[in-house]
Amino acid sequence: ATLIISFTFASTAKADPFSFTGTFTQDDNVQFFNFTVSMSSAVTLRTLSYAGGVTATGETIARGGFDPYLALFNSAGVLLVQNDDGGSSVLTDAVTGRRFDAFSQTTLTSGDYILALTQSPNFAVGPNLSDGFTRAGQGNFRDGFVDISGNRRDGRWAVDIFGPNVTQASLVAQQQPIPEPTTMLLLGTGLAGVATNIRRRKRQVNEVKEESR
């Protein structure tokens, strides 16, 4: 009986979400993230850079950031999924009326993955990460965070990575030129503890707020 109870508990356990925020300094910046999936399951990747909202860890993000794009690669650097505009899966900007945040939900097998965040239309060339991005080296190709509709934005971004079997996620220091996937995964491992501490600190703050109500 004890074995059955333990197995049931493990199968229903839910992994904590991971949320990250930061700021681009120019239009052609690229921010990378590493994350690990322990077993095959759905993984959600989304931004709150454009319309704002509340992250998966409960942080409120103000609207006004740039129009984001996400590209997902496996540990070998092969492009798997990309998304520019999330449509009905993302919020509408209260001022521009646009839904320009990115959103992707896909089933991933166990393993390590690399996520890239850029400003649209700085798209992955593909089919490999080593092929780079279409606007690399072009600096402020959008005249400093101006969206396709002519609205002036800023460099702030927010990214969520979550799923029932996402066991870790971390920021990777921005690198130019883009390093090999194996190097990038190693760079991310060094920051994994920092990222986990940030996520846990946000959870603790939220718990204190709930208790004080």
Of 13-27, 104-118, 139-153, 184-198, which range is least confident?
184-198
The 10s digit of each residue's pLDDT in 1-37 is: 433 333 333 334 467 999 999 999 999 999 999 999 9
pLDDT band for position 165 (cuts 50, 70, 90): very high
Q: Report the pLDDT averaged over residues 35-63.
A: 98
Q: What is the pTM of this model?
A: 0.80
What number is the average pLDDT over the span 175-186? 64
Domain ranges of the chain: 18-172, 177-212
Q: Check residue 124 and report its DSSP letter.
A: B
More reliable by pLDDT, 182 or 24: 24
Instruction: Give 181's pLDDT tier (boundaries 50, 70, 90).
Output: confident
Looking at residue 174, its amino acid is Q
Average pLDDT over residues 85-97: 98
Q: Please state the three-class secondary structure of the chain as a single string.
A: CHHHHHHHHHHHCCCCCEEEEEECCCCCCCEEEEEEECCCEEEEEEECCCCCEECCCCCEECCCECCEEEEEEECCCEEEEEECCCHHHCCCCCCCCCCCCCEEEEEECCEEEEEEEEECCCCECCCEHHHCECCCCCCCCCCCCECCCCCECECEEEEEEECCCEEEEEEECCCCCCCCHHHHHHHHHHHHHHHHHHHHHHHHHHHHHHHHC
Task: Compute the distance between CA of residue 38 and CA of residue 58 in angstroms, rounded to an integer.
Answer: 24
Whether the pLDDT of residue 173 is over 90: the answer is no
Taking domain 18-172, whether its CATH number is 2.60.120.380 is answered by yes
Per-residue confidence (pLDDT) for residue 65, from 0 to 100:
99
Return the closest-CA partner of residue 57 out of 46, 68, 66, 72. Answer: 46
pLDDT at 109 over 60: yes
Q: pLDDT class for 187, splitting at 50, 70, 90?
A: low
Average pLDDT over residues 87-107: 98
From 76, 83, 59, select the one nearest 160 (Cα to Cα). 59
* Count of other CB atoms within 10 angstroms of residue 62: 12
Mean pLDDT across the chain: 84
Q: Judging by DSSP bridges, how do beta strands 68-74 and 79-83 pair with one another?
A: antiparallel
> Lowest mean pLDDT: which of 24-38, 48-62, 190-204?
190-204
Question: What percentage of the chain reaches a pLDDT higher than 70?
Answer: 75
DSSP string, 136-149: TT-SSTTTTTB-TT
